[in-house]
Amino acid sequence: MTGLLDISDVEVEYRSRGRGRVLAVAGVSLDVAAGQIVGLVGESGCGKSSLARVAVGLTPPSAGAVRFAGQPVTPLGWRRRPDTEIGLQMVFQNPYASLNPRRTIGAQLLDGVPATVTGATARRNRVRELLDRVGMPSTAAERYPHQFSGGQRQRLAIARALAPQPRMIIADEPVTALDASSQAQVVNLLVGLVRDLDMGMLFISHDLALVHEIADVTAVMYLGRIVESAPTRELWRSPRHPYTRGLIDAVPRIGPTPRLPATLAGEVPDPANAPTGCRFRPRCPHAFAPCGDQPPTLDLGGRSAACWLNDPTMAPATVPAN
């Protein structure tokens, strides 16, 4: 099945003096269908934001392709984007940086309202509808970004992303900068919008528990590669990659007595000096001989994992219990 957003074999390479070639995204394929929420989780430096920027067409990939509604996504240039690509919108982490501090909210929302909506009254009504959609009063249109709190600003940034009536939203850590209670408000808003408007959403976050709560499918990224992808419940219940297991076990839980979360050995390596073979091998508690070769992404029936433990011809007789 090809989704509405189709990312295939994307690589992102950065070159820098001193460090040489850094492959931040090392061949990633991912689909997002209409009405579906795909969560992308991983630690800082794993390449998830680089992937988001390519997916929305902010930067070109060094290899591979991104297609949106069947058309290739062209990197953003000076020219106006084709109408189809306007259906792909992004919500950024920092609502303080994504709104223009010197223009009113109303003016910024009007920028995004399609030209097909004509007449000053109709366009103003559209702005009011957008504000209502994100739970803000229509008087917000006359005000400036600094007059709102962080959570309100993020809701206004979402209204701006909704203005051109997108079919797909890419949200890169949209609630990381917010307090617990505004986090819940913004997440509920995004999920509600996807369900009501039948949009697709790629929700990028380092917060596993949050992604577990909202995503239909979760993809786990480590050092530029997707190591596991599965329907969220299955992924959480029976992870098939040791890194996924490590991430889930590191989430602190509430319980009657203190229980420290499990720790994972070592540090995330520098992507400029990524280990050969399986990139997780040096930290993996189950590493064995075949791990010297890069494991392929194995299809496990409705889910996939890039780990030799899932290959019966390779794995030792006793596969470690999850």
Partner 1 sequence: MAPLLDVDSLAVTLPGPRGPLPILHDVSLSVDEGELVGIAGESGCGKSLTAQTLLGLLPAGATVTGTARFAGTDLLGLDNRGWQRIRGAGIAMVFQDPSAALHPMLTVGRQLTEHMRVHLRMDRRSATRRAVELLDQVRIPDPERALRAYPHQFSGGMRQRAAIAIALAARPRLLIADEPTTALDVTVQAGILALLDRLRAETGLAVAFITHDLGVLSALTTRGYVFYAGRVVETGPTGALLTAPTHPYTAALLGARPHGTQAVGTLRPIPGAPPAPGEAPPGCPFQPRCRHAEPTCGTAPPPLAPVAADRSVACVVRPHLEVTVR
Extract the tokens encoding 7.
Answer: 């990312």
According to the binding rule CB under 8 A, does residue 259 interact with partner 1? yes
* Start-to-end Cα distance in the chain: 30
Min separation Cβ 47 and partner 1, Å: 14
- Pick one of 213, 293, 299, 311: the residue that binds partner 1 (CB under 8 A): 213
The two most distant CA atoms of the chain are separated, in Å, by: 71
Q: Are 281 and 307 within 8 A, CB to CB?
A: no
- Pick one of 254, 289, 317, 321: the residue that binds partner 1 (CB under 8 A): 254
The pairing of beta strand 217-222 with beta strand 168-172: unpaired
Which residue type, as a one-letter code, is found at position 95? P
- Pick one of 89, 93, 185, 304: the residue that binds partner 1 (CB under 8 A): 185
According to the binding rule CB under 8 A, does residue 264 interact with partner 1? yes
Give the separation between CA 181 and CA 108, rounded to whole angstroms. Answer: 26
E-strand ranges in the chain read 5-16, 20-32, 37-41, 63-68, 71-72, 88-91, 168-172, 200-205, 217-222, 225-231, 298-299, 304-305
x/- mask, partner 1, residues 39-68, rule CB under 8 A, reads ----xx------------------------
Q: Which is nearer to partner 1, 229 or 232 (CB)?
A: 232
Three-point CA angle 248, 249, 254, nearest 5°: 100
- Pick one of 2, 84, 149, 276: the residue that binds partner 1 (CB under 8 A): 149
Q: Which is nearer to partner 1, 1 or 180 (CB)?
A: 180
x/- mask, partner 1, residues 266-285, rule CB under 8 A, reads -xx-----------------
Q: Which is nearer to partner 1, 57 or 242 (CB)?
A: 242
User: Three-state SS for 242?
Assistant: helix
Extract the tokens encoding 161.
Answer: 């992303």
According to the binding rule CB under 8 A, does residue 122 interact with partner 1? no
Give the separation between CA 294 and CA 54, rounded to whole angstroms. Answer: 24
Q: Which is nearer to partner 1, 107 or 268 (CB)?
A: 268
According to the binding rule CB under 8 A, does residue 96 interact with partner 1? no
- Pick one of 252, 292, 296, 316: the residue that binds partner 1 (CB under 8 A): 252
Q: What per-residue string of b and e applies to 4-35 under the rule 16 or more CB within 10 Å gives b? A: bbbbeebbbebeeeeeeebbbbbbbebbbbee
- Pick one of 1, 115, 260, 317: the residue that binds partner 1 (CB under 8 A): 260
Give the separation between CA 144 and CA 44, rounded to whole angstroms. Answer: 32
Q: Which is nearer to partner 1, 49 or 61 (CB)?
A: 49
Using the rule CB under 8 A, give the single segment among 17-25, 47-55, 119-127, 260-268 that binds partner 1.
260-268
Site for partner 1 in 188-207 (CB under 8 A): 188, 191-192, 195, 206
Residues that bind partner 1 (CB under 8 A): 43-44, 149, 151, 179-185, 187-188, 191-192, 195, 206, 208-210, 212-214, 232-233, 236, 246-247, 250-264, 267-268
